[in-house]
Copies of this chain bind each other. A is one copy, B any other.
Amino acid sequence: MTDITAPPEAEREAGSGGGDPPAPEPIWDIIELLFFAYRDFVGDPDHVLAALRFGRAHHRVLHFVNRNPGMKVADLLDILRITKQSLGRVLKQLIDEGYVVQQEGPQDRRQRLLFVTAKGEALAMRLARLQTARITRALEELGPTGHDSARRFLSAMIDPRERERVLRLIGRSDRLRQAAVRG
């Protein structure tokens, strides 16, 4: 194990004469670790998806539909922050190949509520377990407070404006899926 624990920390170059405030050194380690960690994190599912002729865009859609059964198309667009045209293409493929189904909204019949099929859930869970394996391995290295630290760090990295919304989404999804399992 290299010296991960020894902070390089940016020996604040002793601000010599005067002039402008010396502009603190960027936090290079976190910036670069995020790049490499995220690449590996999304790389796991990529291989499985490639075999099915799917890409990351399909994964994102499948993931959030699996997590939020019965969600509206508009909500999905809002979460993913893409246009309906972009969503349309991948959603159509997921529907055509039997991973997702749409169902008329019971109150508002304009809505096409989204659900994963058994096949869709199986794939979503398979991909989630791949990513979970990596996360579990990582958290085990960090001791009992690891999960909490990671969660707090990542939450804090989200725009304050949307943080609430995201945390609410994550919590709500948990309850939704529980209900779907029991129902």
Contact = CB atoms under 8 A, between A and B. Distances in A.
Interface in A1-53: 2-5, 7-9, 13, 23-24, 26-41
A63 B26 CA distance: 12
Contacts of A103: none
Contacts of A146: 149, 153
- Number of identical monomers bound together in the oligomeric complex: 2
Nearest to A165: B36
A131 B31 contact: yes
Contacts of A131: 26-27, 31
B37 A154 contact: yes
A126 to B, nearest CB: 10
Contacts of A81: 39
A4 B167 contact: yes
Interface stretch (A69-77, A91-99, A111-119, A169-177): A169-177
A57 interface: no
A25 B149 CA distance: 20
A40 B9 CA distance: 23
Contacts of A145: 149
12 contacts: A23-B129, A27-B132, A27-B135, A28-B173, A32-B169, A32-B173, A33-B155, A36-B158, A37-B154, A40-B157, A139-B153, A141-B156
